[in-house]
Structure 1
Amino acid sequence: MPLEKGRAYRLAGVAAALMVTAVAIVGVRTLDRDPDGPTAAAATGTAAATTAGNAAATGTGTGTIVLNPTDDAFLQLMIPIDESALTFLEEAQTITSSPALRALAAQLAETHRTELKDMRALLAAGGTPEQNIHEGHRMPGMIFDDQLAALRTAPEADRDAQAMTLLKGHLEQCEVLATGEEAAAGSDETRAFAVRLKQRRTEQLNQLAAIG
């Protein structure tokens, strides 16, 4: 499959995933904001559906910026992706042998901490509570405990290559997600963050390629 066509298919999949997440977030948010409990929510189902539909169409936010559901979906997905990678990056600094790879892991760990802080600030500014609705799911771009365990127990001669494969998959998926958010963002602030993230991931992929 040509590279450009493959990328287009991946972006289409990302857009679909973001919208599914957005629907889930709107539903959870509607329940969280219902002051009278499930009985009242059932009695006003039509109004709740209308509210959710309006939120999906126009974006919602009680803070200083307005996030649409795609913005919410992007941030709520990227936070656990970055968190899983941060755990990996911290370990990679001690269990890999290449000085260049260790240095890159340290550099990326610092940028991931900054990204997590920035994304949580965007959610707070949009009045959106942080919710890991992907908990327990094996989402692309995440680095999982079993993968870390396999890396720890791998022969020393194989660890660098395995670590680079895990890192490459994470960086590539972040780049794709950022591209999707750049195209569909409702908030100028989240779009700007996505643009910076995509540029950063491209640079980091180039740094990784230079090592390998």
Structure 2
Amino acid sequence: MHSNRSTMRRFSLGAVAGAGALILLTACGGSGDAMAGHEGMSSSVPAATATATATASASTSASFNDADVMFAQMMIPHHEQAVEMAELATTRAADPEIKELASKIKAAQDPESQTMKGWLTAWGKPMPSGGMGHDMPGIMSEADMKQLEGAKGAAFDKQFAELMIAHHNGAIEMARTEQSQGANAEAKALAKVIESAQQSEIAQMQKILDRL
């Protein structure tokens, strides 16, 4: 009997100790949950999900190759020249459709340039330097730009349309190269948008030339 009482006493003490440990663990777990809840009060996304999303985002951002970098480094100055040409139209163009198209080009290409600059920063790659633009498809020479700056009215409208068609064709060529050789999903998607939008604008400018 003494032996049985001793055994029961040890069992009872063990159960109490186990319960105490369980309570302690529960208390710790509750504290951790409360802290996690406190830290995540500003967001409805669970911490684990947020971490996974951030990791996936970082992975996507890091997924790029040399073609993606070249696309951004070349398209940025290409876009900037198109915006410069479009700005000339505000004071020199006579045709309302040319003015409207120029405004549309600037509104689309300015933000696209900023997006591509953001990619280069995220990828740790240099921004395009001043001399990078001369070998790009469709880029205007300094002589072309000076001639466009010196034109006004109907003469400007015709030169603008002819030069911008050539400029757009160059951008389309680079966009197609990116779509076939790039690795970054966002860069390839933008290249597709550029190709589609500029093909449409070329068709519009060709119609304008036909009636000028």
1:170 matches 2:137 = no
**Is contact 2:93-2:152 (8 Å) kept?**
no
* Unpaired segments ≥5 residues, structure 1: 1-60
Aligned residues: 152
Superposed displacement of residue 154, structure 1:
3.6
**Is contact 2:148-2:160 (8 Å) kept?**
yes
* Unpaired segments ≥5 residues, structure 2: 1-57
**Pairing 1:120-135 to 2, within 5 Å after superposition:** 120-132=117-129, 134-135=131-132
Distance 1:96 1:137 in 2: 26
Q: Match for residue 108 of structure 1?
A: 105
Superposed displacement of residue 125, structure 1:
2.5
Amino acid at match of 1:90: E
Q: Match for residue 211 of structure 1?
A: 208
Q: Which structure has the bigger radius of gyration?
A: 2
Superposed displacement of residue 65, structure 1:
2.5
Q: Match for residue 141 of structure 1?
A: 138
**Is contact 1:185-1:191 (8 Å) kept?**
yes
Amino acid at match of 1:86: V
Q: Give the alignment partner of residue 98 of structure 1, picking from 95, 99, 109.
A: 95
Superposed displacement of residue 100, structure 1:
0.5
Q: RMSD across aligned C-alpha pairs, in angstroms?
A: 2.3
Identity %: 26
Q: Match for residue 185 of structure 2?
A: 188
Decide which structure has greater helix share: 2
Q: TM-score by structure 1 length?
A: 0.64
**Pairing 1:1-212 to 2, within 5 Å after superposition:** 64-132=61-129, 134-135=131-132, 137-154=134-151, 156-212=153-209
User: Deviation string for 1:72-126 (max 9, x for gaps)?
Assistant: 1111111111111111110122211101001100110111101101111222232
Superposed displacement of residue 140, structure 1:
2.6
Amino acid at match of 1:80: P
Superposed displacement of residue 168, structure 1:
0.4
